[in-house]
Structure 1
Amino acid sequence: MTISPSPSSAHAAHVHALRGQTMGTTWSVQYVSAARPDLHALHDAIQARLDVVVAQMSTWQADADIMRFNRAQAGTSFTLQDDFLQVLKTALEVAATSHGAFDPTLSPLVAAWGFGAHAEGHGRPAMDELIAARTRVGWQQLQLDAVQRCVIQPGGVMLDLSAIAKGYGVDVVARLLRVRGVEAALIEVGGELYGYGRKADGTPWRVLVESSPDEEADSEGLEPRVLALDRLAVATSGDRWHAYTHDGRRYSHTIDPRTGEPVTDAAAAVTVIAADAMHADAWATALTVMGPEEGHAFAVRQDLAARFLQRDAGGLRETMTPAFERHLAA
């Protein structure tokens, strides 16, 4: 995903910037604060907060909480820390509402098709591999007890929250900044964004929604879309960021949990606006799985603010839900 501040949001006076690395990508914060907090202390606090999220939900770290759950024996009751609990609870809610288009247990199928932290060989897996992987996938297998703060490992289920964790990372940074008295900020983790408050000149944070610059350059009539973010988040998913070609066929990293197959008619990009980045992140993935037609119809019914860019013979074709159109900056 490529979402960057628009030219109209050039650094005004008193806008400070911090940057770092997390979740295999980068994070950045632009902020306005009359209190002028210590830059080094604020940077370290942001990095430490994101490190806590990574320690709970990274599938790339063998000692992360999520990997300990994935290795647990069937019937194990696994106690969840606050971040893990909140993200898993939301992931299961989105899974239910999307009728399984979003599924946090998809990891075995993602690996079978050659993607993710535990990727196997590229190309179409053997039928017995697919069958074996599909028996381990299904969000309904999870028994989450939010009151007791635990989830039961049914046996062989592998959680992967990468389609929602970056958005959650944005949200926890926003909360940290507010607690520390930062009046306005634009937070980004791996392209997922949340903005709140006003800059020093009184204007909101304005961002340009993009998909692929080279594709957009070839698409006549595709207007740039600018969003004003004030207590709003935006996330984009699509098939151009992770894909490979094997034996003349292009395989997208977006796997449909309902079929066990890579999405064949994936939109070039799906952008979702929501009140928090965690939900924007998850819904962008779910709508990408559904595809431009099913996804757009679903988003309209659910009043989701979503924009789809679909490839056709003329380049990219854009469709937006009414809720998305209401957010476009004048």
Structure 2
Amino acid sequence: MMRLRLPVCLVFLVALIVAAPVAATELQRLHGRTMGTTWSVLVVLSPKHAGDVLQRGIQAELDRVDGQMSTYQPDSDLSRFNRAPAGSWQQLPPEFFTVLRHALQLAKDSDGAYDPTVGRLVNLWGFGPDQRPRQPPTAQAIAAAQARVGWWKLQLDPATRRVRQPGGVYLDLSAVAKGYGVDQVARYLQRMGVQAYLVEVGGELRAHGRKPDGSVWRVGIERPDAAAGAVVDADELIDTVALDERAIATSGDYRHVFEDKGRYYSHHIDPRSGYPVPHEVASVSVLADDCMQADPLGTTLSVMGADKGMAYARAHGLAVLMIVRTADGFVQRTSPAFAAAVRR
């Protein structure tokens, strides 16, 4: 399975359905496991839809993404690319190529704050598939791993869906593949004629249509200081957000960490320095038209930091809610696009 860099990110963006009670025959919950986490789909079923058929179809869509882009599966397409000899061209499945092309464009746009070739650093710091001790690596080891990082080293051939392995580059698409999986499930449900649904994979969500009572889907965003697994009450939430034909993804630093000699290290690795980012930004939530857009932006803005990250969000018209640590506690920062989205 693909154990994403945020294997517990479902606690960052809680799939809390703020909904009026509806008849059980109208709204059905399907669920399962994928990518080292869980998935859940609320669907409004008509008589022509069979829940067991949709269950199998959803699982197949997610298994396809996991089988192509997992760093934990040695036979995945991504793992085969990571092992490929220097100078070789590797043909990718359409889904993998789509995600990689999007990831490389974001890497370029963000000046490397996000970089899908960061995998060796992720593993070195103990947040990847390698079972390493959770302790800071040496400066020499960091420099050696960072020498293999660089999105610009990859060459794509769109006509043949091939990518060139320059030698030693280790792709990690954990920050984007899960969001793409959400979108794939949404596309499957639309092909099946499902008129309304809320898809959640590890805390990343996308909604379509209306609930049986005619209202929009709503989800809750967890407070960074909420107790693990305790988000059952409104006071454990920062806010609730309406998902009206939109997706939302959240990236946080407050659970997937390790401590060494009194210092905490986050899984958010800055590809440009080789080190985990300071803990100024506690979480970033991004609203977008689809989850593949929203998912990696949370990581990107966290790496940029509060000021640069919010400036990037404003400049690119991104709908962003950022929770920042200060001496006086947590402070919320919202981009104009996010404020407009929650008002509508």
TM-score when normalising by structure 1: 0.94
Matched letter for residue 284 of structure 2: V
Pair 1:125–1:205, CA change in 2 (3 A): same
Query: In structure 2, the residue corresponding to 1:323 is in which secondary structure?
Result: helix
Contact 2:226/2:236, CA 8 A, preserved across alignment:
no
Question: Partners in 1 of 2:316 and 2:99 — Cα distance?
Answer: 21
Q: Residue 86 of structure 2 corresponds to which residue in structure 1? A: 74
Query: In structure 2, the residue corresponding to 1:326 is in which secondary structure?
Result: helix
Query: In structure 1, the residue corresponding to 2:49 is in which secondary structure?
Result: coil
Answering whether residue 117 of structure 2 is matched by residue 110 of structure 1, we say: no
**How far does residue 260 in structure 1 lie from its aligned partner after superposition?**
1.0
Matched letter for residue 55 of structure 1: G
**How far does residue 222 in structure 1 lie from its aligned partner after superposition?**
10
Question: Partners in 2 of 1:11 and 1:97 — Cα distance?
Answer: 44
Matched letter for residue 3 of structure 1: V
Matched letter for residue 234 of structure 1: I
Of 100, 105, 109 in structure 2, the residue corresponding to residue 97 of structure 1 is 109
Question: Partners in 1 of 2:197 and 2:95 — Cα distance?
Answer: 22
Contact 2:121/2:269, CA 8 A, preserved across alignment:
yes
Answering whether residue 178 of structure 2 is matched by residue 144 of structure 1, we say: no
**Could you say what the CA RMSD is over the residues aligned between the two structures, in angstroms?**
1.9
**How far does residue 7 in structure 1 lie from its aligned partner after superposition?**
3.1
Pair 1:282–1:206, CA change in 2 (3 A): same
Q: Residue 146 of structure 2 corresponds to which residue in structure 1? A: 134
Percent pairwise identity: 46
Pair 1:158–1:223, CA change in 2 (3 A): closer
Question: Partners in 1 of 2:132 and 2:47 — Cα distance?
Answer: 51
Question: Partners in 2 of 1:112 and 1:187 — Cα distance?
Answer: 33
Answering whether residue 171 of structure 2 is matched by residue 159 of structure 1, we say: yes
Q: Residue 212 of structure 2 corresponds to which residue in structure 1? A: 200
Question: Partners in 2 of 1:116 and 1:291 — Cα distance?
Answer: 23
**How far does residue 28 in structure 1 lie from its aligned partner after superposition?**
0.5
Pair 1:71–1:9, CA change in 2 (3 A): farther
**How far does residue 73 in structure 1 lie from its aligned partner after superposition?**
0.2
Q: Residue 203 of structure 2 corresponds to which residue in structure 1? A: 191
Contact 2:82/2:169, CA 8 A, preserved across alignment:
yes
Q: Residue 53 of structure 1 corresponds to which residue in structure 2? A: 65
**How far does residue 9 in structure 1 lie from its aligned partner after superposition?**
5.0
Answering whether residue 185 of structure 2 is matched by residue 173 of structure 1, we say: yes
Of 279, 285, 290 in structure 1, the residue corresponding to residue 293 of structure 2 is 279
Contact 1:111/1:118, CA 8 A, preserved across alignment:
yes
Q: In the TM superposition, what whole-angstrom CA distance separates every residue of 1:142-177 from its partner, at most 9, and x where no partner exists? A: 101122100000000000100001100100000000
Matched letter for residue 275 of structure 1: D
Query: In structure 2, the residue corresponding to 1:207 is in which secondary structure?
Result: strand
Query: Larger deviation: 168-177 or 262-271?
Result: 262-271
Of 288, 310, 320 in structure 1, the residue corresponding to residue 334 of structure 2 is 320
**How far does residue 231 in structure 1 lie from its aligned partner after superposition?**
1.7
Q: Residue 6 of structure 2 corresponds to which residue in structure 1? A: none
Correspondences of 1:257-268 after superposition (within 5 Å): 257-268=271-282
Count of residue pairs the alignment pairs up? 327
**How far does residue 128 in structure 1 lie from its aligned partner after superposition?**
1.8
Contact 1:306/1:323, CA 8 A, preserved across alignment:
yes
**How far does residue 213 in structure 1 lie from its aligned partner after superposition?**
5.2
Pair 1:11–1:95, CA change in 2 (3 A): farther
Answering whether residue 16 of structure 2 is matched by residue 5 of structure 1, we say: yes
Answering whether residue 28 of structure 2 is matched by residue 16 of structure 1, we say: yes
In structure 1, the gaps of 5 or more residues are: none
Pair 1:73–1:310, CA change in 2 (3 A): same
Pair 1:266–1:35, CA change in 2 (3 A): farther
Pair 1:47–1:260, CA change in 2 (3 A): same
Correspondences of 1:173-322 after superposition (within 5 Å): 173-212=185-224, 214=226, 224-322=238-336
Matched letter for residue 272 of structure 2: R
Question: Partners in 2 of 1:80 and 1:138 — Cα distance?
Answer: 20
Pair 1:222–1:299, CA change in 2 (3 A): farther
Question: Partners in 1 of 2:343 and 2:42 — Cα distance?
Answer: 20
Contact 2:15/2:200, CA 8 A, preserved across alignment:
no
Pair 1:154–1:211, CA change in 2 (3 A): farther
Question: Partners in 2 of 1:327 and 1:235 — Cα distance?
Answer: 15
Q: In the TM superposition, what whole-angstrom CA distance separates every residue of 1:269-327 from its partner, at most 9, and x where no partner exists? A: 10000110011001111001111111011101111000110112332110000100112
Answering whether residue 40 of structure 2 is matched by residue 28 of structure 1, we say: yes
Query: In structure 2, the residue corresponding to 1:132 is in which secondary structure?
Result: helix
Question: Partners in 2 of 1:192 and 1:36 — Cα distance?
Answer: 28
Question: Partners in 1 of 2:325 and 2:48 — Cα distance?
Answer: 46
Query: In structure 2, the residue corresponding to 1:294 is in which secondary structure?
Result: helix
Query: In structure 1, the residue corresponding to 2:272 is in which secondary structure?
Result: coil
In structure 2, the gaps of 5 or more residues are: 1-11
Contact 1:113/1:119, CA 8 A, preserved across alignment:
no
**How far does residue 180 in structure 1 lie from its aligned partner after superposition?**
0.3
